[in-house]
Structure 1
Amino acid sequence: MKLLSSVFQRNPFLSLLAAATLFSLAGCASKIDNQAPYLAIPKADLNLLSERALAQFYVPGVAVGIVHRGEVVHLQGYGVRDFEQPDTVDQDTLFRLASTSKAFTSAALAILVDEGKIDWDDKVTEYIPEFQMQQDWVSDEFTVKDLLVHRSGLVGGAGDSLLWPEPSGFSRQEIIDSLKYLTPKYGFRSQYAYSNVFYITAGEIVERVSGMPYEDFVDLRLFAPLGMNCFAGDMPADAMNNIATPHGDVAGDLFAIDRNGIQGKATVSAAAGGLVCNVSGMAEWMKLLLNDGKTDSGEALFSKKQLAQMWRSETILSMSKREAERTQSHFKTYALGWRKNDMYGHQVISHTGTLSGMQAYLALVPEQQLGVILLNNGSNGSLRGAMMQEILSAYLKPEDETDWVADYYQYQQQAEQRYLANLSTPQGSNTVLFEENAYAGEYADVWYGGVNITQAKSGTKDLEQSELRIEFEKMVNLKGKLTPFDQHTFVINFDDRNAASPAFIEFVVDAEQQVTGFTLRPFSDKVRDNHAYRDMVFNRLSLGGD
């Protein structure tokens, strides 16, 4: 509709005609509003919005699903599944759901609560006796609900290095066993800090209580009754025929991120961010949620009481000034696998999902019986944000004239300019104190496992030179080159820079001038304690070549 405004300005007669038509349509809309589901954005405008957002934010493809008042009013794909192939995205194209998977883990637990097999306030140790945090009293008090609400006391993302970059070599049990090595920064239940590893733990409770693998439980108790062609575990071969490839971009040049692609096998991250689905299936999921947990046939997969529990605010979230002003929001909280806020006076239940190259955004407005799902195969979060705001605004504040694609693009450009203005690169002597081979050897951390540092040959035969290489035994995509920085510190430049950013590796030397171990931290001149390596201490096991 906004696209026609300039035409109306140039032709007053058309403006009057449009006003009369809109007045007439307003009366019709009022009747439709009271009787039937509808698509608030004309399909042609929605098509144009999608195509424009794909081009603006360098994303190859996106799928859009909208449900309203119990009916699917829009299901369509835009763009391509792979930027190097002509195959287009459609309503059945499979994407990874990333963190929108968390709501399914919450729902799986809700089913078990309905069946009287667990309670939200039960202690985790009742079901996983070996569950252990660094502080004993926290271990004893940690409840099933605590696993889902991001207030453990750990820093945000603690333990994510056990999951990503994929494929992870850690099992679910190893992840749970590693929790006791993660150092808390905040008081237990004192504040929000996002966590994936506790959803992995929640998946283990589903498995131990139900007696079936977590993946099977979700497939059989949630996907199957809804007829969703979606997968928590291994996928049949024929399901691999219509899958999206994840992508990143550098200055608009696209590239595939194969490690995060759909491989057809269950991932250890399933309960936190590893499910696979399409907008057709997610539309059925949204209909269920907007119908108090009941399918179209009236079967209750979980009770209305448990749905209310899953949507009950548990943890207060911060809200930016931009969020408050742009959508007239007043609060933001986290529930059980869901975020909550208000928008133009309406409560919105939502969650995003982010992997490198795959993104998702699901939003529900229960009082309007409205649900929107966006799945895309790019890395720019502005696409999902702009499209979601455009669609929700069309229903909740139809008079809004904001161009959300332009708004998000401008905000992104300003954020990038601020980042570049503050960007500084650490400076060192580009030398180290020992011969490089003195740092080679086998090392290990008690929870993250082994690391091998070797001296390898590189370059051409005529210009052959040696370099230090590092490989993490449990994470096959964490390998790279060590470049001297200063003293006993090197910079790790990982082979796949999209998988991991450069990092400092700081070797420890004892009084006898022997290298005994190392620690890691981000490649930055700013000291931070909130990073993936904060609890890793690698001790030397043997010398290089031993």
Structure 2
Amino acid sequence: MPWRRLYFSRCRIQFASLLLSMGLATLAVAQATADERTIGSFDSATSESIRAAIPKLETYIEALIEADAVPGLAVAIVSGDQVYLNGFGVREAGAPEHVDADTVFQIASLSKPISSTIVAALMSDGAFDWDTRISQIDPSFQLFEPYPTANVTVSDLLSHRSGLPGLVGDELLAYGFDRATILRRLRLVRPAYSFRGGYEYSNSGFTEGAVAAAAAVGLAWEEAAETLLFGPLGMASTSMRYGDYLARGNRAELHVRYDDRWQALVKHDTDAQAPAGGVSTSVRDLARWMTLVLGNGVIDGRRLAPEDALAASHAALSHIGSDPIGGEPVFYGLGWALIYGNNGRVWTHAGALTAGARSLATFYPDKGFAIAVLSNAHPTGAPEAVVDRFVDLVLSGGDGPDTIETWNGIYASMVPESPSAKDYGSLPQWLSPPLSPQAYVGTYHNAYVGTAVVTASDDGILNLALGPEGGLQRPLRHFNRDQFTFFLLEEVPDTPFGISFQIGAQGVATSMNIDDITDSGFGRLERVGDAP
């Protein structure tokens, strides 16, 4: 469906990034900050290989930065009680401040396994479990059909098996709606498949599952994250609130490739889907969570999450595809992607904001180590290439090929595009002029998108206002007769999106179509009230 591809940009190619990262999931990553360049003595033979690989990995990453593969990135390795951290490159292109172990990044869907850990920790007092029905802990939540509404569980939502179409709700995020509004409107969405009969990656569904879990113990989601995980682990720079990210002096800006160079063009507020994609963190903080996961819920002698709840999150519930590199089957659990390969179990997840961020964390529980890479750009395959290089050094002696060009090509193909851009990218041979601006001016509405208002300036230029209180405003450019375009996404400022009007017998528009979400069933908005 074209609308889903379009709004990958605003929730952002998370599922594609997840599957592609599986190619590295048979691998791992490494590094540290100037005052942390000694890794200590790792215990196992694998840890000795890690220590030997790090200087070569540092050289490789520095070469990536020099080649402009990414403005900046940070890396963490955890093995036993040893932690290795480092930052490379700059926080913002053209500025002098360097990335270090305390630089805070937006990590997109890498938030999901962190949120899964929080939900597991919320089960400590027995108020609910993975099989608790959402109707018991959030009675206001509804899906389109009564049976799934009554029976959908926390597990169903965190494993993307509720029937919700993939990425539904993300277009509302693009328009500026808040979390409560997006979750409430899911009841309008017809299922894409039978309840528990398939898998589609749903940020909004995941968000509801986590928010309901927090409500089960009387907490707001952000409070639960701080109380159950970030606070106890000392993750002082980590938050589920976008405002906290903006308040960090040492933060990495988002970057996109525009005019053939990295530019910090976009700010992206992730509050509306915080459990699914709203974490901002540093590799120093992230290493604390990684240590907890490798310790099966125990850190510094304290148990923060029930072992059985964490183990359940790593159980395969859906087969979601194949590893694009090695071909191994890939499964999804509860906020985790899972592979069972030659190196034992692999728990992993990637994140991507096409507004300008990439992230990846991979755990090898049977070998006792984990790795995370955070970067401040999209499209880039740097996290995957770093993982490939490191694992090759650790497990195969470093004779494998450099994969950066392959991964860069894959992620470049995912830059968000409007499916209607092919229709609006060039003018037709025969053009028809528009009607009078007043034929289009008015208020349009449907229950899912909400209200859209079209106004005209004194010189006849039409303007479209969408979202809460018309907060998203874009000028409309005439294309042909009753078709117009607008530029929705700041990360692709030259990509047109289509709007078309349907003209009634009175010569004025009776409805409008937002072309790129028409296939979802919600693109058509009817005129409300009389024409001017």
Mark yes or no: TM-score above 0.5: yes
Read off the aligned partner of 1:384 and give its amino acid letter.
P
Read off the aligned partner of 2:371 and give its amino acid letter.
V
Q: 2:410, 2:454 → 1: CA distance?
A: 43
Once structures 1 and 2 are overlaid, which stretch shifts more, 79-88 or 341-350? 341-350
* Cα deviation code 1:262-297 (max 9, x no counterpart): xxxx822211111111000111111110111111x2
- Tell me how large the CA RMSD over aligned residues is: 3.1
* Cα deviation code 1:317-342 (max 9, x no counterpart): 1126xx2xx3x342101111111124
Contact 1:97 1:277 in 2 (8 A): yes
Read off the aligned partner of 2:461 and give its amino acid letter.
E
Q: 2:489, 2:374 → 1: CA distance?
A: 29
1:450 equivalenced with 2:461 (yes/no): no
State the secondary structure of the residue aligned to 1:318: strand
Alignment of 1:72-111 (within 5 A): 72=83, 74-111=84-121
The residue that corresponds to 2:389 in the other structure is 390
Shift, 1:108, TM fit? 2.3
Tell me: CA distance 1:245–1:410, structure 2 relative to 1, closer, same or farther (3 Å). closer
Sequence identity of aligned pairs in percent?
26
* Cα deviation code 1:506-541 (max 9, x no counterpart): 223344444222121239xxxx83xxx642432222
Read off the aligned partner of 2:347 and give its amino acid letter.
I
State the secondary structure of the residue aligned to 1:505: strand
1:503 equivalenced with 2:477 (yes/no): no
Read off the aligned partner of 1:286 and give its amino acid letter.
M
1:61 equivalenced with 2:72 (yes/no): yes
Read off the aligned partner of 2:54 and give its amino acid letter.
K
Read off the aligned partner of 2:441 and give its amino acid letter.
A
Contact 1:58 1:254 in 2 (8 A): no
* Cα deviation code 1:59-98 (max 9, x no counterpart): 21100111123311x2110011111310000000011121
1:471 equivalenced with 2:481 (yes/no): no
Question: Among 54, 58, 76, which residue is 1:47 paired with?
Answer: 58
Q: 2:247, 2:485 → 1: CA distance?
A: 42
Question: Among 315, 319, 323, which residue is 1:312 paired with?
Answer: 315
* Cα deviation code 1:113-149 (max 9, x no counterpart): 3321112112111111121111222212211111111
Tell me: CA distance 1:452–1:411, structure 2 relative to 1, closer, same or farther (3 Å). closer
Q: 1:131, 1:250 → 2: CA distance?
A: 41
1:278 equivalenced with 2:282 (yes/no): yes
The residue that corresponds to 2:230 in the other structure is 223
The residue that corresponds to 2:268 in the other structure is 260
The residue that corresponds to 1:3 in the other structure is none
Which gives a bigger RCO, structure 1 or 2 (Cα 8 Å, sep 6+)? 2
1:353 equivalenced with 2:351 (yes/no): yes
Shift, 1:475, TM fit? 8.3
Alignment of 1:85-484 (within 5 A): 85-164=95-174, 168=176, 170-229=177-236, 230-233=238-241, 240-260=248-268, 267-295=271-299, 297-319=300-322, 323=324, 326=325, 328-355=326-353, 356-398=355-397, 400-409=399-408, 424-426=422-424, 428=428, 429-431=430-432, 434-456=435-457, 465-474=459-468, 478-484=472-478
Aligned residues: 483
* Cα deviation code 1:353-387 (max 9, x no counterpart): 11111221111011111111111111124111111
Contact 1:480 1:495 in 2 (8 A): no
Tell me: CA distance 1:235–1:228, structure 2 relative to 1, closer, same or farther (3 Å). farther
Q: TM-score, normalised by structure 1?
A: 0.80
State the secondary structure of the residue aligned to 2:195: coil
Contact 2:108 2:278 in 1 (8 A): yes
Contact 1:312 1:335 in 2 (8 A): yes
- Uncovered stretches (5+) of structure 2, i.e. residues with no partner: 1-41
Q: 2:347, 2:224 → 1: CA distance?
A: 24
Read off the aligned partner of 1:254 and give its amino acid letter.
W
Contact 1:481 1:494 in 2 (8 A): no
- Uncovered stretches (5+) of structure 1, i.e. residues with no partner: 1-30, 458-464
* Cα deviation code 1:229-264 (max 9, x no counterpart): 211237679962211111111253222134227xxx
Shift, 1:402, TM fit? 1.9
